[in-house]
Amino acid sequence: MEKIRILQVITLSELGGAQKILFYLVRGLAQDNFEITVACSPGGELIQWLKELDTVKIVELPQLRRSVSLVNDLCALWKLNRLMAGEGFDIVHCHSSKAGILGRAAAFLAGTKKIFFTVHGWGITPEQGRLRQIFYMAAERAAAIISTNVVCVSKADFNWGIKKHIAPSKLTVIYNGVPRAGILKPGFLRAELGLGIDDLLVGTVCRLSPQKNPLYFLELASDLLSVDISSNIYFVMIGDGPLKKRCEKYINIQRLQKRIFLLGSRENAASLMGDFDVFCLFSLWEGLPLTIIEAMLNKLPVLANSTGGIPELVADGETGFLVDPGDKSRALKNLIGLLKDPELRKQMGISGYHKAEKDFAIPRMVRDYELLYNS
C-alpha cells in the first residue's frame, strides 16, 4: 500500500508545548503507513529531536518567524507553496498560529486535498490590542473555511471557536498525549538544591511570560513563607522567558534567595518534577498545558487557575484544586492545606496519575490523529 505523505508545519523549532506534541505525533505514527516531512524555522531543539528519529525529512525555513513581517511572511508563504506544489503532499497539518495561517493558505493555493490545523491555544490573547484581535480573528475564520478540519486540544478551545463563529462542523477535539517522564534517581533535584527528604518543595514549570503569570507564583510563595508553617517549605521555578529578570528582582527584593530557586530552562523538567510535593500553574489563559499532565504522571497534586482547558485536566477536590485567577486567599488556603496533609497529597496524586494515564496517553492521541488523516 502506498504511504500517505504528510507535511507537518510549525513556526518555531524551539521546544514548547506545540513542538512537543508534533514530535510525539510524528514519532508515534506508523512508519509503514505514513511518510512525514516537517517544515519549521531553524536552530531549535525540535530539529535535533527529529533528526534522531531518522525517519523524518526536515525542511528549515528561516523566514518562518513568530513576529509579523510582511516581507518575511510573504516569502515564507511562497516557499511553503513551492514545497507543497512540488512534493504533492496528501495532507498538510499545521501547528501554531503563524504557521497555521501561512501553511493553510499555501496548501490551499497548492491544491492540497486535506488541510488540518491544530489549535494549541488560540492565538488571540488578552494582551493584544483590540484591532490586532479583530485582524487575527478574521484571519482564523478565513483559514478555517479552507481547512478540512481544525483540531482543538481542549473543549474550552472548541467552545471558543464556536463562539467566534467558526463552523462547528470544522471543529473537533483531540486531547494531547504526554509520555511518562524519564527516570531520574529520586532526590536528584533536592540534592542540587541542598534540600532534605523532610523538606516540602512546591514547584512550577512554565515559560516566564505574561500568559503563565510567574510573578503571581512568587507572590503566593512570599505570602506563604511569611506564616509560621513555612520553616521547611521551599519553592522552585523551572523555565525561562521575558519576565526572568523581573522574577529575579522580586526574589532579591523579598530576600528569599534561600527559599525560592529559579533554575532556568531544563530539558529534563518533567523528570525533575518527581521531587516536587505540589505542582502549581497560574496561567491567565491556556489551551491544554502539558506541564500539568506531566505533573499528574509524577503523581503530584495540582493547584492551578481555572482557565482554558485546565478544568478538563484537574478535577477540583479530586486531583488537585482549581482557583479563580487573582483569588490569592483561596490559592493560599488550598496550598497550605496540601502542605499540611501528606495523605491528601498522596490521594490526589494517585487520582491524577490514573486520569492522565487514561485520558492523556500518546497512543490514544496518535490513534485519533490517524483516524482523522484517514477520514
* Assigned domain for 302 exists: yes
Statement to judge: residues 208 and 122 lie in one domain: no
Q: Kindly state whether residues 78 and 206 are assigned to the same domain.
A: no
Q: What percent of the chain has pLDDT over 90?
A: 84
219 and 163 inside one domain? no
Same domain, 215 and 268: yes
Domain count, the chain: 2
Q: Are strands 171-173 and 149-152 parallel, antiparallel or unpaired?
A: parallel
Residues 284, 161 share a domain: no
pTM for this model (two decimals): 0.92
165 domain-assigned: yes
Instruction: Classify residue 330: in a domain, yes or no.
Output: yes
Range of the domain at 226: 188-359
Residue 258: per-residue pLDDT: 95
Residues 27, 166 within the same domain: yes
pLDDT at 66 (0 to 100)? 81
Per residue in 279-311, pLDDT (tens digit) is 999 999 999 999 999 999 999 999 999 999 999
Q: What is the DSSP string of 150-202?
A: EEESSHHHHHHHHHTT--GGGEEE-----PPPPP--TTHHHHHHT--TTSEEE
Write the CATH number for 146. Answer: 3.40.50.2000
352 and 366 co-located in one domain: no
Same domain, residue pair 151 and 195: no
Q: What is the pLDDT of residues 4-45, one digit of tens each?
A: 999 999 998 888 899 999 999 999 998 889 999 999 999 999
| Shared domain check, 194 and 119 | no
DSSP 85-151: HHHT-SEEEEESHHHHHHHHHHHHHHT-SEEEEEESS-S--TTS-HHHHHHHHHHHHHHHHT-SEEE
Q: Tell me how far CA of residue 348 lies from CA of 81, 247, 309, 344, in angstroms.
A: 49, 29, 19, 6
Question: In angstroms, what CA-CA distances link 92 with 59, 85, 103, 363?
Answer: 14, 11, 8, 21
Question: Is residue 367 one of the residues assigned to a domain?
Answer: yes
Q: Name the helix (H) or strand (E) containing 356.
A: helix 342-359
Task: Answer whether 24's CB lies under 8 Å from 118's CB.
Answer: no
Domain presence at residue 245:
yes
Q: What is the pLDDT of residues 59-84, one digit of tens each?
A: 999 999 888 788 999 999 999 999 99
- 182 within a domain of the structure (yes/no): no
Are residues 158 and 198 part of one domain?
Answer: no
Q: Which three cell numbers stand for residue 140?
A: 482564523
Q: Are 307 and 301 in contact (CB under 8 A)?
A: no
Cα 82 to Cα 35, 241, 370: the distances in Å are: 19, 34, 26
pLDDT band at 182 (very low <50, low <70, confident <90, very high): low
- 279 with 192, same domain? yes
Residue 184 reports pLDDT greater than 70: no
In a shared domain, residues 109 and 207: no
Whether residue 321 lies inside any domain: the answer is yes
Residue 140 lies in a domain: yes
